[in-house]
Amino acid sequence: MIQIIAELGLNHNGNPDTAEEMIRAATQAGCTGVKVQTYRCGDFLPKDHPDWGMFARREIWPWLGRLAACAHRHDLLFGTTPTS
């Protein structure tokens, strides 16, 4: 069986509602799963790095469970690429 996994990446822009919309779109597109990126930007960037704010706003730890539940409600597999 072939699995089609949608990568949410950082495209949710730090907004859990946008991430849930992306999960619903993955369902409509025929995907069988979704994947997110979990990290703590302090593990790979110094606080004075110019991209710190962009990455910090997109950390999803506080709503990881919410996204997993949304994926499961849509009968999608849920996975993450952990870097922390």
Residue 16: predicted pLDDT: 96
Amino acid identity of 76? L
Instruction: Give the pLDDT band (50/70/90) at residue 62.
Output: very high
pLDDT, position 1: 86
pLDDT of residue 83: 84
Beginning with the edge strand found earlier in the chain, give each strand of the sheet holding 77-82 in spatial order: 5-7, 33-38, 77-82
Mean pLDDT of 28-56: 95
Judged against a pLDDT cut of 90, whether residue 24 lies above it is answered with yes
Residue 28 has pLDDT above 80, yes or no: yes
Q: What would the pLDDT profile of 42-51 be if each residue is shown by its tens digit? A: 999 999 999 9
Q: Is the pLDDT of residue 60 over 90?
A: yes
Q: Which of 82, 58, 79 is nearest to 67 (CA)?
A: 79
| Beta bridge mates, 33 | 5, 77
What number of H helices and E strands is found in the chain? Answer: 3, 3
